[in-house]
Structure 1
Amino acid sequence: MRSAIYLDGSWQRPESPDAIPVFDPYTEASIGSVPECTPAEVGRAVAASRRAFASWSRTPLKERLDHLDAIAQGLRERAEEMARTISEELGAPIVDSRASQVGLSLTGFDGVVSVARGYAFEEEIGTSLVIREPMGVAACITPWNYPLHQITLKVASALAAGCTVVLKPSEVTPFNALLLTEIIDRAGLPPGVFNLVSGSGAGVGEALVSHPDVDLVSFTGSTRAGMRISELAAPQIKRLCLELGGKSAAIVLDDADLEIVVPQVLERCLTNAGQNCAALSRLLVPASAVERAANVAAEAAGAYTIGDPRDESVRLGPVVSSTQWDRVRGYVRAGMDSGARLVCGGIERPAALSHGYFVPPTVFSEVRPEMSIFREEIFGPVLGITGYESEDEAVALANDSDYGLSGAVWSADRDRAVGVARNLRTGQVTVNGGAYNFLAPFGGYKRSGLGRESGRYGLEEFLQVKSLQL
């Protein structure tokens, strides 16, 4: 199926023979390719979605959710196959692929179905009947770092709302999307309700965003790409949901236990080799505790097993590509050149490994706000430690960013931590290591994007509001 795309309820070969190679970031070898679609295929996919929308939008909610339940069941049945596919194309350790890449995708998918089942699509306000109805054709453009999770979250919300979908997955990690499409095909959705096209962002993505019959675009990726999408969508006033970059700060207050907290922050920085838009990549600690925090972080980093993602004992795999490898190591060099103190890690592949796009767990201390490693999203396993003199300065440092996607606060006093969290200009804040809640909204302030995903808030991105004056 890697030579085909999914249009109007069937697998079809695109007109162009052009293909995009896909690489295993551990072996550095090609593991296949996917078609490079043309704007003509994009047009066919959108046309199929537009034809299907009239009937799908009027399909009873229970019937729509029955289809989604069937998709979720199919994913459960092929969960191990999916996890191994993601490990191969992304480089995520197999343990993480099962738990985070596939497990969280299923949890989020089920959460969307649960929310939709109890959602009030109509309500009376005074003499008006307010109706929430589907937006129309949804273009879902997804990233390579959490490929399945982002696909399932968008697609489940769109289909539950009554929208039809054209999906363009990342060309870097596309095989999980093809596997999910097999599952969707077997779930028996009506033709045209779900379509998949493959290709680059510059080619296929831009054609999809610009298409006049696309009513909304749900995109997760870089801020630069989000800006381009905004430009393309502006003439048609399309609705946009953009989940973009991040440079999230973890504030450790002076009453918190560094020995407990710093390893937790490091883990949330290194997860998925740091390729996480919500990674806690800035650690803010009292100035008097910088050296101690650096030592604790270095010790914790040394415990990470690095190697073949297929190995059950590995905790840190390679970054996704040679391009990403060069990018991350460039930031590490910049950090060293700018005067930050390299505590551990660096630009060299671990000595025991002769291949693979590996960046060791890297910790800098004495990071200053003017440095690129403080300000710019690295998207790799790199943590920067900065000291502060007061609680107010800690908040100011955390907010001194173009981004506002996530953050964290730790304190022995929960109320104090919540008070600090309220002052952070970011879409979500973890307090004392609180667990992620799939029913809560996920999205950012500032250059981290527009709109929200997950739960009721994610469903509503795919709905528009009509009022009937009775």
Structure 2
Amino acid sequence: MGLINVNSFVAGQWLPADDGARPIASAVTGEPLATAGQASLDTQAMIEFARTKGGPALRAMTFHDRARMLKALALELGKFKDELYALSYTTGATKPDSMIDIDGGIGTMMVYASKGRREMPDGHIYVDGELEMLSRGGTFVGQHVATSLKGVAVHINAFNFPVWGMLEKLAPTLLAGMPAIVKPATATCHVTEQCVRRMVESGILPEGAVQLVSGGLGDLLDRLDYQDVVGFTGSAKTALMLRSSPHLLENSVRFVAEQDSLNASVLGPDVTPGSPEFDILVKEVVREMTAKAGQKCTAIRRIIVPQALIGPVGDAVAGKLSTIRIGDPALETTRMGALASAAQKADVLDKASRIAAECRQLAGDQDAFAVDGADKAKGAFVAPMLFACDDPDAAEAVHSVEAFGPVATLMPYRDLPHAGQLMNRGKGSLVASVITHDPAVARSLLIDAGAAHGRIYVNNRDSAKEATGHGSPLPHMVHGGPGRAGGGEELGGIRGVMHYMQRTAVQGSPDIISGITGTWIKGAARPKSPVHPFTRTFDELEIGDTIEAGPRVVTLEDIEHFAHFTGDTFYAHMDEEAAKANPFFPGRVAHGYLLLSFAAGLFVEPAPGPVLANTGLDGLKFMKPVSPGDAISVQLTVKRKTRRTDEYGEVRWHVAVLNQDGDDVAEYELHTMNAYEK
């Protein structure tokens, strides 16, 4: 097979590598594999194409449209996993490694597709947080909202995850309505290019939504402005160089970084050899050292254990590492493949030698290990290296040098405060794991070390079967960390989407805010529905449509019957003297749930119609007691509508229960599923 010519996708055109291309070698054989890069790129054309084509097309779509697009893309990419695996082998990744990258990236897109449909509106404005009352009379209110930025997101990705690294940034970016220019690391960009090619060929993406740079970015970053975003994954050194650009600083270009991280795993003082937690730590450490050959930003670099367990843990981990079969990643028997390149191998060995200068080496003789199915001298193979640092307080390299490969250091702690101090010596990490069965241990370490970590993963015998692993960032949770880890946050559900949107405080009357957000708020107009709202389809209902019903007098007989029927004979409902002694009640009062039942009886339309089901309620508040003889009425208002399936959508209703004086006695949000028009 000839050399792969890795293309860039620029302004809707595929451009082959040219005289400016750089060579890419196979991580397994060391032989030339591909070339990538162009002598020059029309970077302004790329930006304009994204801003004038991709941006408007994406912003014309609702959040739900974009979510459906993400799902379709994920399903489409799932058809081509085998061809992506085949390319991934050339980067040194085994089949399980490739699944972390490729299946993990596709899965991340699916999660964002689901969250976009469940947690965002079928519209163009995202409501962020609760309504703020800015005036005593309620005629002036405030609401935070978010809208799509009008620029382009430039994603600079690392070499270790050529698919997941791209898709985990693309998913929230596209969901936000922003186009992206993707710049993968050159060493593995041939895998990324094939993934982008499949997305483009699917026809699912609007024109200009995604572009690809295989090679150098040229002067692209110097052309960005305040509406653009740079998302970076890589070394702290490169991140500092990029984010310090005078142009980015002068134009306040958003820069989201995920970079170096000396992650730690801590074994609790409650753990003993032979316990489930001891075995969990050993398994986690070995997996994190060898998965992707340790080339994971979340991999365990420091293993912090009680002083008495240094020997047992060291023996157990070293013993497991000695059984790891290293070789051609395409072989089913291979447990650990090669590093991504010869340059990466040289860097890892150099960093490991700096760590070795202040440690004892427990495993990883680079002269003694064997490689299956490949030439050890030509491929980027290394043996997993385990070191022991007996005096971690005096050591420096173990807390400051990251060998981005299968390298970890074992070190002792005296007590929990000391363990927390050692965790924090990394000066900011993406993740730390705590292996303990004692909640007090987990709480103590979180208090001591939480400020220096983006994620704390706690595992023990109760969660081990379903726990996802120390090194697995999940799209639902924040992926990022303070300090050395970059100070940014990727993923984290809808938090990740907000990187590509502008949060704006909108102030005005209830009618104005309701009109902007598409959500009825208290104080906004409530036109009376000409017919019962339950007889109107999802499409016929309008925000603010209201029905008023009642009154109904609540009698003492009603209260007593409800108490005996349900078994709720709480004294406030049954004992006049005791109720009067309570500062909240004037005497015997109606049950709150009796009021809800009566309210439903007042507003319900019993005949079959578009309302298919009542699926729950939120925000229930009892605001004023109802005494025997009081009369209640109800106001039912369409608050928000969200399409859910091809057959029905969700309607959220504001329900206010009032007494004879017009005072609110209860309030809640009712959820129903309503059919569309036939």
TM-score of Structure 1 vs Structure 2, range by shorter chain: over 0.9
**Aligned match of 1:149 in 164, 186, 195?**
164
Aligned partners of 1:452, 1:412: CA distance in 2, in Å?
A: 29
Normalised TM-score (structure 1): 0.93
Distance change in 2, residues 1:238/1:418 (3 Å): same
Aligned partners of 1:109, 1:94: CA distance in 2, in Å?
A: 20
**Equivalent position amino acid for 1:323 in 2:** A
Report 1:75-224 matches (<5 A). Answer: 75-88=77-90, 90-98=91-99, 100-120=100-120, 121-122=126-127, 124-126=131-133, 127-135=141-149, 136-188=151-203, 189-200=205-216, 204=217, 207-213=219-225, 215-224=228-237
The corresponding residue for 1:12 is 15
Residue by residue, what CA displacement relative to the aligned partner does 1:224-253 show, whole Å, maximum 9, x if unpaired? 111112112212111111111100111111
Shift of 1:385: 0.6
Shift of 1:349: 6.7
Residue by residue, what CA displacement relative to the aligned partner does 1:294-323 show, whole Å, maximum 9, x if unpaired? 111111101211100101121111111111
How many residues were matched structurally? 461
**Equivalent position amino acid for 2:429 in 1:** G
Aligned partners of 1:456, 1:87: CA distance in 2, in Å?
A: 33
Shift of 1:107: 1.4
Distance change in 2, residues 1:355/1:5 (3 Å): closer
Aligned partners of 1:349, 1:160: CA distance in 2, in Å?
A: 50
State yes or no: 1:348 paired with 2:367. Answer: yes
Distance change in 2, residues 1:327/1:12 (3 Å): closer
Is contact 2:84–2:194 with CA below 8 Å preserved after alignment? yes
**Aligned match of 1:409 in 434, 441, 462?**
434
Distance change in 2, residues 1:55/1:125 (3 Å): farther
Report 1:54-453 matches (<5 A). Answer: 54-88=56-90, 90-98=91-99, 100-120=100-120, 121-122=126-127, 124-126=131-133, 127-135=141-149, 136-188=151-203, 189-200=205-216, 204=217, 207-213=219-225, 215-232=228-245, 233-256=248-271, 257=275, 258-338=278-358, 340-348=359-367, 350-352=369-371, 353-369=376-392, 370-424=395-449, 425-432=452-459, 434-435=467-468, 436=472, 437-453=474-490
Aligned partners of 2:446, 2:194: CA distance in 1, in Å?
A: 40
Is contact 1:84–1:97 with CA below 8 Å preserved after alignment? no
Residue by residue, what CA displacement relative to the aligned partner does 1:193-229 show, whole Å, maximum 9, x if unpaired? 21111213xxx1x623222356110111111111112
Is contact 2:264–2:433 with CA below 8 Å preserved after alignment? yes
Normalised TM-score (structure 2): 0.65
Is contact 1:348–1:359 with CA below 8 Å preserved after alignment? no
Shift of 1:131: 2.5
Structure 2 unaligned regions, length at least 5? 121-125, 134-140, 509-678
Aligned partners of 1:215, 1:372: CA distance in 2, in Å?
A: 37
Where has structure 1 moved over 6 Å in runs of 4 or more? none
Shift of 1:67: 2.4
Q: Which has the higher contact order (CA 8 A, sep 6+)?
A: 1
Is contact 1:167–1:197 with CA below 8 Å preserved after alignment? yes
Secondary structure of 2:255 counterpart = strand
**Aligned match of 2:495 in 457, 461, 466?**
457
Secondary structure of 2:187 counterpart = coil
In our comparison, the structure showing a higher alpha carbon Rg is: 2
**Equivalent position amino acid for 1:411 in 2:** T
Shift of 1:377: 1.1
Is contact 2:230–2:253 with CA below 8 Å preserved after alignment? yes
Moved more, 384-393 or 255-264: 255-264
Q: Between Structure 1 and Structure 2, which shows a larger proportion of helix residues?
A: 1
Aligned-CA RMSD value: 2.0
Is contact 2:270–2:437 with CA below 8 Å preserved after alignment? yes
Aligned partners of 2:240, 2:368: CA distance in 1, in Å?
A: 34
The corresponding residue for 2:604 is none
Is contact 1:70–1:187 with CA below 8 Å preserved after alignment? no
Aligned partners of 2:11, 2:351: CA distance in 1, in Å?
A: 44
Structure 1 unaligned regions, length at least 5? none
Distance change in 2, residues 1:391/1:19 (3 Å): same
State yes or no: 1:27 paired with 2:29. Answer: yes
Aligned partners of 1:404, 1:152: CA distance in 2, in Å?
A: 22
Is contact 1:350–1:358 with CA below 8 Å preserved after alignment? no
The corresponding residue for 2:563 is none
Is contact 2:453–2:481 with CA below 8 Å preserved after alignment? yes
**Equivalent position amino acid for 2:475 in 1:** F
Residue by residue, what CA displacement relative to the aligned partner does 1:401-423 show, whole Å, maximum 9, x if unpaired? 22321111111213422432342
Is contact 1:341–1:365 with CA below 8 Å preserved after alignment? yes
Aligned partners of 2:224, 2:264: CA distance in 1, in Å?
A: 39
Shift of 1:354: 4.3
